[in-house]
Amino acid sequence: MRKIVAGLFVSLDGVVESPEKWHFPYLNDEMARIVADQMREADTMLLGRRTYEEFAAYWPNPEPQAADLAGYMNGTPKHVVTTTLRTAGWQNSTIVRGDLPVALKELKERPGKDISITGSPTLVRSLLAGGLLDELRLLIHPIVVGRGAKLFADGEQVPLRLLGSRTLETGVIHATYGRA
């Protein structure tokens, strides 16, 4: 059975919002390989509405320096978890409707590789709380951003177990968690 895997950039103070403002000084070949590996291990994306809308506005016509990723982002099947969108115009996009646990179970039972979540912190929190997220892969950056949306706010306790970790040359910690 396929896994649902979330990969996020996060600061020491838990901020996931606008990583383009604080992440890039820590990006090196080592981190790029980690991100590329997660992309290679997945053949489907699962996105929350806000991240979907941001990606759908950018990836069809990205800046030249991002053109090498555009083929993957545009060509990969995308499933959007939303209660407000009625249509998904970005190529290879489908709205997830109905009972989310049932829909995700059906998606996981299809043949293929992992199902990857990028960004979408609201969706990640929801799936984690509902026991539907198989792995949480964090690239924890050694910076206190000071403000912005956090991955976790007040909420229910969710026990996890560390599946693996390593420290990158830049001081970023790559930590992978699974359900406890």
- Farthest-apart Cα atoms in the chain, separation: 44
Quote the DSSP letter at residue 130: T
Output the pTM of the full model. 0.92
pLDDT tens-place string over residues 84-115: 999 999 999 999 988 999 999 999 999 999 99
One-letter amino acid of 17: E
Identify the H or E element spanning 57.
helix 49-58
Please check whether residue 11 is in contact with residue 127, taking contact to mean a CB–CB distance below 8 angstroms: no
Mean pLDDT, the chain, integer:
94
| Structure token pair of residue 55 | 């990606």
Please check whether residue 152 is in contact with residue 171, taking contact to mean a CB–CB distance below 8 angstroms: no
CA separation for the pair 22, 49 (Å, rounded): 23
Please check whether residue 6 is in contact with residue 179, taking contact to mean a CB–CB distance below 8 angstroms: no
| Structure token pair of residue 166 | 């390593």
